[in-house]
A and B are shown apart, each in its own frame.
Chain A
């Protein structure tokens, strides 16, 4: 595998195309799989060897891994979620997603969400992770809200009150269906 600092302009552009193609398919590119080197070297080459050729390519780090994506076809929010999904640390992934949604929208997060891409957890994985989170102090803010039809949601008490979370869970699982 060619190191970034050794690439010529054409090789660098080819690398960028690989990243773009993966992003268009909804996939992150693991930096270590396509090149040797770090974000600084990538940025330097993007300026000197192929000016403007990689303006849409973004590096993100999750744990000890770095990923590349093109913001032409993938948002940073999705990329970060995908990187979390790739970490295969369901507790951290679930907690980060729940905290983000409780703060951003705000809304509680339905457990079924974690079946979807980019999380791709099985029902068993979700159930196990939620059970483990309940016993782990670093996830003390992650709480459960249930709708009257049994649908289960998680929310972060740092961002949503229980009353509001329960009300929204009921609306999302039952109210919206009854008021189309």
Chain B
């Protein structure tokens, strides 16, 4: 039995070139970086040569769980998949895709914390794991098939209770915008092509074991109940979306959408979500009625139920039954997804019956099936935005051979016909023609290949951020805090720590009171009224990034955690900033408080930083990496920063934001690079030594 709870103690290393598998000691090698992204960054730093490209045989891909995965810790079902990321532009750099579902927990039950995949198989294979038995099996019969078929076939072969993570045709064809998918709707974006390059179709897992929890049963049960008591709805929104008797506050944008008179209308019989009062933990799963939130009020009648990941009380995946999808387009009428997973409709400029009518819902379901079966990543809907930009500006017509352009039935697109989506997704998955080859490359390469005009990178509505990826909760959520967070990553930042708090629905006065205890009251501005940079905002940004890394390594869902606020009026709406540390300590027996665990997260974030520097061969992160697009500073053109009614930033102010962010992390202000002192403080002397040998350590 491992000395600590939580971890199984074993990491699996699979070399597809040699067909060998090895077992490594998780605790000895990886405890200092917890799991998930932490392990991924460490493996890439230790083992993958600098400047390795995503589809090179030398690249490795790490599927990492963490000590909390599969323990029953609420929202602890995620898996982080870390690799040199294909869609980063122009250099291919480290990044992570994340998936929920039940795969990560099953891996733990099989006795494994992480899987490191290296090399390249000579022919298509899949990995079959049943407890400690690991086999590399032939996947010739699966290659060329979609994720749905591959998943079902493997389950027929190994048993219905097998958890499968698979790629579709897009991943096989090394489309940069491709996913790894588990459970038919839980996808890790951007990493599918790396598995494709290694000819690894899927990783299937069956486990009969369990995860040991260090705390005694009573302590653990009390902690779980306490954690549930301070959880809200999806994105840790802590007030309902409509006025309700029990609620002091409400916010129309809240994902706590349950209310009297709102139903899972396609359930038999229909189920009323009703009021879900915070103290009624048995009704937590009803709080987030997401279909109407994502797709509009017409989706109520199609909602069968809500679903989601293992051990998560927040059911954010809408399970729909839309008969017209089968009747009109030949796809299954049943579909489950959430958020941008319904983004097929976002390709269209309009629908005959409006933005949230029947055609929009049909497009959402048709698009979900195509993207999730072919294994295409829509890149936080940047694929759709780029498509519309190219179409509206004549760039598709200009860049496609005439015969190819004419082969696409554009009138169906102009008419808002959901069936048109098959043209888009199929061409991308198979890299058909210029359209399919270019669109799947991701924004950076697409824009270069089709010579998008300079305005593309400067216009606010394109959402372009940098390095081939879009913004993700940037200046419009937290002003400088959102900008700083978006600057730090190589893909769209996938950080929700700040946006969860800012979107929680509480009045700004209460948000400021809560912020004062964590970062300083100046961290929060009234919405649409940004004030100049201050140290509180920098603390908020650093906290946000560190908690994101912590969640992706423990693993906990960053779409719920941190729990900085709660729905409880009796607590003054305060959450618990130390909840991650409490869960970690109880599970592992390694007692750490919030500050100590944040320091581990800081170590992980620094690994991401030095990996980025190494592969960019650059020390000057400040000007070469930590950048924001012009639209952040120039839009709207007729307004001055720090006046009400917009989110326009000031360049000098953002310079000072960088200074403060670097200062808090002990990084060099001139370059934004970690220093020897900052690294050694985190126990990373060897990293500092190596950085020095690479000529990347500041003087």
Given that A164-B645, A167-B645 are contacting pairs, would A107 and B246 also be in contact in the complex, using a CB cutoff of 8 Å? no
- When each residue 144-158 of chain A gets 1 if its CB lies under 8 Å from chain B and 0 otherwise, what string results? 000001000000000
Report A81-118 residues with CB < 8 Å from chain B CB: 81-82, 104-107, 110, 113, 116-118
Cβ of A75 under 8 Å from chain B: yes
User: Which residues on the B side are within 8 Å of A149 (C-beta)?
Assistant: 355
User: Which residues on the B side are within 8 Å of A48 (C-beta)?
Assistant: none
- Please report the C-alpha to C-alpha distance between residue A168 and residue B249 in the assembled complex, in whole angstroms: 18
- Please report the C-alpha to C-alpha distance between residue A107 and residue B508 in the assembled complex, in whole angstroms: 10
Cβ of B275 under 8 Å from chain A: yes
Which of the residues A113, A168, A180 comes within 8 Å of B339, measured between beta carbons? A180
Q: Which of A74, A78, A81 is most buried by chain B, counting CB atoms within 10 A of its CB?
A: A78
Cβ of B244 under 8 Å from chain A: yes
Cβ of B476 under 8 Å from chain A: yes
User: Which residues on the B side are within 8 Å of A105 (C-beta)?
Assistant: 249, 251, 507-508
A-B pairs with beta carbons under 8 A, tally: 87
Q: Is the CB of A171 within 8 A of B340?
A: no
- Please report the C-alpha to C-alpha distance between residue A176 and residue B253 in the assembled complex, in whole angstroms: 7
Q: Is the CB of A113 within 8 A of B644?
A: no
Q: Which of B243, B244, B339 is most buried by chain A, counting CB atoms within 10 A of its CB?
A: B243
Given that A105-B507, A106-B526, A179-B477 are contacting pairs, would A74 and B245 also be in contact in the complex, using a CB cutoff of 8 Å? yes
- Please report the C-alpha to C-alpha distance between residue A119 and residue B692 in the assembled complex, in whole angstroms: 67
- When each residue 20-32 of chain A gets 1 if its CB lies under 8 Å from chain B and 0 otherwise, what string results? 0001001000000
The 8 closest A-B pairs by CB, nearest first: A163-B645, A167-B528, A164-B644, A167-B645, A26-B245, A74-B245, A75-B248, A116-B242
User: Which residues on the A side are within 8 Å of B526 (C-beta)?
Assistant: 106, 164
**Which residue of the partner chain B has the closest CB to A110?**
B252
Given that A75-B246, A117-B260 are contacting pairs, would A180 and B340 also be in contact in the complex, using a CB cutoff of 8 Å? yes
Q: Which of B251, B339, B529 is most buried by chain A, counting CB atoms within 10 A of its CB?
A: B529
Cβ of B397 under 8 Å from chain A: no
Given that A75-B247, A116-B243, A179-B476 are contacting pairs, would A172 and B253 also be in contact in the complex, using a CB cutoff of 8 Å? yes
Given that A26-B260, A168-B527 are contacting pairs, would A180 and B294 also be in contact in the complex, using a CB cutoff of 8 Å? yes
Q: Which of A81, A82, A104, A119 is most buried by chain B, counting CB atoms within 10 A of its CB?
A: A104
B190 to A: closest C-beta gap in Å: 18
B475 to A: closest C-beta gap in Å: 11
- Please report the C-alpha to C-alpha distance between residue A116 and residue B567 in the assembled complex, in whole angstroms: 21
User: Which residues on the A side are within 8 Å of B243 (C-beta)?
Assistant: 78, 81, 113, 116-119
- When each residue 108-135 of chain A gets 1 if its CB lies under 8 Å from chain B and 0 otherwise, what string results? 0010010011110000000000000000
- When each residue 34-51 of chain A gets 1 if its CB lies under 8 Å from chain B and 0 otherwise, what string results? 000000000000000000
- Please report the C-alpha to C-alpha distance between residue A122 and residue B527 in the assembled complex, in whole angstroms: 30
Cβ of B379 under 8 Å from chain A: no
Q: Is the CB of A77 within 8 A of B249?
A: yes
Cβ of A54 under 8 Å from chain B: no
User: Which residues on the A side are within 8 Å of B527 (C-beta)?
Assistant: 106-107, 167-168, 171
Query: Apart from A26-B275, A81-B243, A167-B528, what are 17 other A-B pairs with CB-CB below 8 Å?
Result: A23-B245, A26-B244, A75-B246, A75-B247, A105-B507, A106-B507, A106-B508, A110-B252, A113-B252, A117-B243, A149-B355, A163-B528, A163-B644, A163-B646, A172-B253, A179-B477, A180-B339
Q: Is the CB of B246 within 8 A of A73?
A: yes
Q: Is the CB of A163 within 8 A of B253?
A: no
B465 to A: closest C-beta gap in Å: 12
User: Which residues on the A side are within 8 Å of B246 (C-beta)?
Assistant: 73-75, 78
Given that A78-B243, A78-B247, A117-B260 are contacting pairs, would A167 and B253 also be in contact in the complex, using a CB cutoff of 8 Å? no
B residues contacting A by CB (< 8 A) are: 242-249, 251-253, 259-260, 275, 294, 339-340, 355, 473, 476-477, 503, 507-509, 526-529, 569, 643-646
**Which residue of the partner chain B has the closest CB to A180?**
B339
Q: Is the CB of B644 within 8 A of A172?
A: no
Which of the residues A23, A113, A161, A176 comes within 8 Å of B645, measured between beta carbons? A161
Cβ of A3 under 8 Å from chain B: no
**Which residue of the partner chain A has the closest CB to B338?**
A180
- Please report the C-alpha to C-alpha distance between residue A168 and residue B645 in the assembled complex, in whole angstroms: 7
A residues contacting B by CB (< 8 A) are: 23, 26, 73-75, 77-78, 81-82, 104-107, 110, 113, 116-119, 149, 161-164, 166-168, 171-172, 175-176, 179-180
User: Which residues on the A side are within 8 Å of B507 (C-beta)?
Assistant: 104-106
- Please report the C-alpha to C-alpha distance between residue A81 and residue B245 in the assembled complex, in whole angstroms: 10
B567 to A: closest C-beta gap in Å: 13
Q: Is the CB of B339 within 8 A of A78?
A: no
**Which residue of the partner chain A has the closest CB to B647?**
A167
Q: Is the CB of A167 within 8 A of B339?
A: no
**Which residue of the partner chain B has the closest CB to A109?**
B252
Given that A161-B645, A164-B528, A171-B528 are contacting pairs, would A179 and B473 also be in contact in the complex, using a CB cutoff of 8 Å? yes
Q: Is the CB of B508 within 8 A of A167?
A: no
B554 to A: closest C-beta gap in Å: 24
B40 to A: closest C-beta gap in Å: 26
B294 to A: closest C-beta gap in Å: 7
- Please report the C-alpha to C-alpha distance between residue A164 and residue B339 in the assembled complex, in whole angstroms: 27
- Please report the C-alpha to C-alpha distance between residue A26 and residue B259 in the assembled complex, in whole angstroms: 12
B321 to A: closest C-beta gap in Å: 23
User: Which residues on the A side are within 8 Å of B260 (C-beta)?
Assistant: 26, 117
Q: Is the CB of A168 within 8 A of B244?
A: no
A104 to B: closest C-beta gap in Å: 5
Q: Is the CB of A78 within 8 A of B244?
A: yes
- Please report the C-alpha to C-alpha distance between residue A161 and residue B503 in the assembled complex, in whole angstroms: 21
Which of the residues B245, B340, B476, B644 comes within 8 Å of A78, measured between beta carbons? B245
**Which residue of the partner chain A has the closest CB to B645?**
A163
Given that A113-B252, A117-B260, A180-B339 are contacting pairs, would A161 and B242 also be in contact in the complex, using a CB cutoff of 8 Å? no
User: Which residues on the B side are within 8 Å of A73 (C-beta)?
Assistant: 245-246
Which of the residues A104, A118, A167 comes within 8 Å of B644, measured between beta carbons? A167
A120 to B: closest C-beta gap in Å: 11
- Please report the C-alpha to C-alpha distance between residue A23 and residue B277 in the assembled complex, in whole angstroms: 13
User: Which residues on the B side are within 8 Å of A26 (C-beta)?
Assistant: 244-245, 260, 275
- Please report the C-alpha to C-alpha distance between residue A147 and residue B645 in the assembled complex, in whole angstroms: 13
**Which residue of the partner chain B has the closest CB to A161?**
B644
User: Which residues on the A side are within 8 Å of B643 (C-beta)?
Assistant: 163
User: Which residues on the A side are within 8 Å of B245 (C-beta)?
Assistant: 23, 26, 73-75, 78, 82
**Which residue of the partner chain A has the closest CB to B639?**
A163
- Please report the C-alpha to C-alpha distance between residue A110 and residue B249 in the assembled complex, in whole angstroms: 15
**Which residue of the partner chain B has the closest CB to A76?**
B248
- Please report the C-alpha to C-alpha distance between residue A180 and residue B473 in the assembled complex, in whole angstroms: 9
- Please report the C-alpha to C-alpha distance between residue A23 and residue B275 in the assembled complex, in whole angstroms: 13
User: Which residues on the B side are within 8 Å of A162 (C-beta)?
Assistant: 645
- Please report the C-alpha to C-alpha distance between residue A171 and residue B245 in the assembled complex, in whole angstroms: 26
User: Which residues on the B side are within 8 Å of A175 (C-beta)?
Assistant: 476
A146 to B: closest C-beta gap in Å: 14
- Please report the C-alpha to C-alpha distance between residue A90 and residue B242 in the assembled complex, in whole angstroms: 18
- Please report the C-alpha to C-alpha distance between residue A73 and residue B277 in the assembled complex, in whole angstroms: 9
Q: Could you list 20 examples of A-B contacts with CB < 8 Å?
A: A26-B275, A73-B246, A75-B245, A75-B569, A77-B249, A81-B243, A105-B251, A105-B507, A106-B507, A106-B508, A107-B251, A113-B242, A113-B243, A162-B645, A163-B643, A167-B646, A171-B527, A172-B252, A179-B476, A180-B294
